[in-house]
Amino acid sequence: SAVISQKPSRDICQRGTSLTIQCQVDSQVTMMFWYRQQPGQSLTLIATANQGSEATYESGFVIDKFPISRPNLTFSTLTVSNMSPEDSSIYLCSGGGDFYGYTFGSGTRLTVV
């Protein structure tokens, strides 16, 4: 199964600024997904990223706030824009798929102060 390197692992950011999270996959994957996980809670899907097309966002998440890039089949970024303390969370990317399930990055713990 694919291996995903995610960075940064953690960051502390000022409100009003933006942070870009990167995920690099060691093999080509068709679909990549971005999740948000509040401490002690489950994973909530933010968006699905296909190479060569715009990301598809879940209800409650908008492109202006969480722009996503997917320039090729091994890389994706998620930007958290104009951050507020409510954006403090863990952000995870995943990729792969089919019966073998998805591999996840190690997550980015974001704190907005």
Partner 1 sequence: AQTVTQSQPEMSVQEAETVTLSCTYDTSENNYYLFWYKQPPSRQMILVIRQEAYKQQNATENRFSVNFQKAAKSFSLKISDSQLGDTAMYFCAFMKTYNNNDMRFGAGTRLTVKP
CB of 100 to partner 1, least distance (A): 7
CA separation for the pair 111, 50 (Å, rounded) = 28
Residues 57-96 that bind partner 1 (CB under 8 A): 90, 92, 94
CB of 16 to partner 1, least distance (A): 26
CB of 71 to partner 1, least distance (A): 20
Comparison of 49 and 82: residue with beta carbon closer to partner 1 = 49
Residues 15-34 that bind partner 1 (CB under 8 A): 31, 33
CB 55 within 8 A of CB 68: yes
Residues 6+ apart with CB under 8 A from 93: 4, 6, 21, 23, 32, 33, 34, 35, 76, 78, 104, 105
Residues 6+ apart with CB under 8 A from 107: 6, 9, 37, 90, 91, 92
Sole window of 19-27, 43-51, 63-71, 79-87 interacting with partner 1 (rule: CB under 8 A): 43-51
The residues of the shown chain that bind partner 1, judged by CB under 8 A, are 1, 31, 33, 40-43, 45, 48, 56, 90, 92, 94, 97-104, 106-107, 109
